[in-house]
Structure 1
Amino acid sequence: MAKRTAARRAKSSDGVNPRQPCPCGSGKRYKACHGAAGGAADVIVTRPFEGLAAECELVALREFVPSATAPLPLAKPGDRQVTLATVLPMAAAGLVRADGTALVGLQVQTKSGDISRDAARAVNWALTAEPGDALPVVGPAGPEDQVRLQDLLDPHASLDVTLHEDFSWWLPGDVEPTGEVAMSLERANAAIMPTQRLEAEGVVAAYWVDTRDKAHLRWVRPEPEEKLLAAMARLAARGELALGEDSRYVGSFRAHGLLVPVWDLDRERHHREWAEPAAALGRRIDEAVASLDDEALTEAERRAREGLRGRQITVR
Structure 2
Amino acid sequence: MSERTEAQQRPDAEIPVVGRRQPCPCGSGKRYKACHGASGGQSKIKVTRPFEGIAAECELVALREFVPSATAVLPRTSGEREIELATVLPMAAAALVRTDGKAFVGLQVQTKSGDISRDLARAVEWAETAEPGNSLSAIGPEDAPEGTVPNRLQDLMDTEAQLDVRIHEDFSWWMPEGVEASGEVAMSLERANAAIMPTRKLETEGVHAAYWVDATDRAHLRWVRPEPEEKLISAMARLSARGELALDEDSRYAGSFRAHGLLVPVWDLDREKHHREWEEPAAALGQRLDEALASLDEQGLDAAERRARDGLRGRQITIR
TM score, norm. by length of structure 2: 0.88
Is 1:136–2:137 an aligned residue pair? yes
> In the alignment, residue 36 of structure 2 is paired with which amino acid?
A
- Residue 75 (structure 1) aligned to one of 73, 77, 82: 77
Cα displacement string for residues 75-113 of structure 1 (whole angstroms, at most 9, x for unaligned residues)? 22x221000000011111111122221110000111111
1:259 alignment partner AA: L
What is the one-letter code of the residue matched to 1:95?
A: L
Aligned 8 A contact 1:48 1:114 in 2: yes
Corresponding residue to 2:177 among 166, 173, 177: 173
Match in the other structure for 1:164: 168
Taking a change above 3 Å as real, the CA distance of residues 189 and 221 of structure 1, as seen in their structure-2 partners, is same
Q: Distance in 2 between matches of 1:29 and 1:250?
A: 40
Structure 1 counterpart of 2:26: 32
Does residue 106 in structure 1 map to residue 110 in structure 2?
A: no
Pairing 1:207–2:208 present:
no
- Name 1:47's counterpart in structure 2: 49
Give the one of 230, 243, 250 matched to 1:226: 230
CA RMSD in angstroms, aligned pairs only: 1.9
Identity rate of aligned residues, in percent? 71
The superposition leaves residues 20-74 of structure 1 with CA deviations (integer Å, 9 ceiling, x where unpaired) of: 9478458x96532899223431211110000000100000000000000000001
Amino acid aligned to 2:68: P
Alignment partner, residue 16 of structure 1: none
Q: d(CA) in 2 for partners of 1:75 and 1:239? A: 46
Q: Does the CA contact (< 8 Å) of 2:8 and 2:45 recur in 1?
A: no
Q: Which residue of 1 aligns with 2:251?
A: 247
Q: Which SS does the other structure have where 1:116 is aligned?
A: helix
Deviations 1:261-316 (A, max 9, x none): 00000000000000110011011111111111100100000000000000000010
Q: What is the aligned partner in structure 1 of residue 62 from structure 2?
A: 60
SS in 2 for 1:104: strand
Deviation at 1:129, TM superposition (A): 1.1
Match of 1:275 in 2: 279
Aligned length, in residue pairs: 295
**Counterparts of 2:314 and 2:175 in 1: how far apart (Å)?**
44
Q: 2:42 is paired with a residue of what secondary structure?
A: coil
Given that residues 75 and 157 in structure 2 are in contact (C-alpha distance below 8 angstroms), is that contact kept between their aligned partners in structure 1?
yes
Of residues 256, 261, 264, the one that matches 2:268 is: 264
